[in-house]
Amino acid sequence: MKVELTVNGKDITADVEDRTLLVHFLRDVADLTATNIGCETTSCGACTVLLDGESVKSCTVLAAQADGRSVTTLEGLASDAGEMHPVQKAFHEEHGLQCGYCTPGMVMAIVSLLRENPSPTEEQVRAGLEGNICRCTGYHNIVKAALSAASGVNP
């Protein structure tokens, strides 16, 4: 079937199998490989992207469901001039990543979380990240990064 998506501001049209998952569309058709696959069961959040501004786990969304909609991945977060998004910057400054595999999904989940709640408490951040698994950081610095980005982000 034919699908038309706007990915990071760019229109992409492609003929795909009906069963094509959004994450495979992003990785294989749009050739944007930052979005990783971690579990295929909507449990780990490595594949989190924004669909019309809201976070979704792209391993359990069909490309067909995203037809005509707009997707933002990690690659689309920095400004055109290349300046990192405040959440990306906070991850760097607070050492919020180690191996980097969960990072794209984690960053997107936090971008979405802060849009919904620009000044969360630590508890709210932790609850909000329940669907994103990181195996390296113990979440300590991820939570710190989210809180630090929140304090610097304009609501």
Partner 1 sequence: MSILGTRVIRTEDPRLLTAGGIYVDDLREPELDGAARATFVRSTVAHALITGIDTSAALEQPGVIAVLTAADMTDLPPPPPAGEFDPDAPAVEGPLPLGGVWSEPLLAVDRVRFVGEPVAIVLTDSTYQGEDAAELVSVDYEQLPAVPSIEAALAAGSLLFPDAGTNVCQKGGQDTSDESIFDGCEVVVEGDIVNQRVACLPMEGRSTAAAFSGGKLTVWASTQNAQLSRLILTAIGLPPDAIRVVAPDVGGGFGAKIGVDRESIIVAWAAKHTGRPVRWVETRNENLLAMTQGRAQELHIKIGGSRDGHIKAYRLNVLQDTGAYARMSGFLPSLTVLMAPGVYDIPAVQADYKVVVTDGTPIAAYRGAGRPEAAATIERAVDWFAAEAGLDPARVRKLNFIKPGQFPFVTKTGAPYDSGEYEAALDKVLAKAGYEELRAEQRRRREAGAARQLGIGLASYVEVTAGDAGAGETCKIDVHSDGTATVYTGSSAHGQGHHTAFAMLVQAELGIPMDKVEVIHGDTDLIPDGVGTYASRSLQLGGSAVQKAALEVKDEAARQAAALFEAAEADVVLDADTGLWQVRGDPDKSLTWAQVASEAEGGTLMANVRFTQAMPTFPFGSQLSLVEVDTETGKVTLLRHVTCDDAGPVLNPVLMEGQRHGGIAQGAAQALCEEVLYDADGNPLTSTLADYGAITAAELPSFELVTSETPTHLNPLGVKGIGEAGTIGATPAVQNAVIDAVSHLGVRHIDMPLTPERVWTAIQSAGLRRHVREASAK
Give helix 86-93 / helix 140-152 axis angle, nearest 10°.
Answer: 140
- DSSP H or E stretch at residue 48: strand 48-51
Q: Sort strands 70-72 and 2-7 into parallel, antiparallel or unpaired.
A: parallel
d(C-alpha 147, C-alpha 17), whole Å? 41
Residue 98 in the binding site for partner 1 (CB under 8 A) = yes
Beta-bridged to residue 12, according to DSSP, are 5
Q: Which part of the chain contacts partner 1 (CB under 8 A), choosing from 7-15, 48-56, 63-71, 84-92?
A: 84-92
Q: In the bound complex, what is the minimum distance in angstroms from residue 15's beta carbon to partner 1?
A: 14
**CB-nearer residue toward partner 1: 12 or 84:** 84
152 touches partner 1 (CB under 8 A):
no
Q: Give the interface with partner 1 as residue ranges (CB under 8 A).
A: 17, 19, 24, 27, 31, 33-41, 43-44, 46, 74-75, 77-78, 82, 84, 88, 91-93, 95, 97-104, 107, 122, 125-127, 129-144
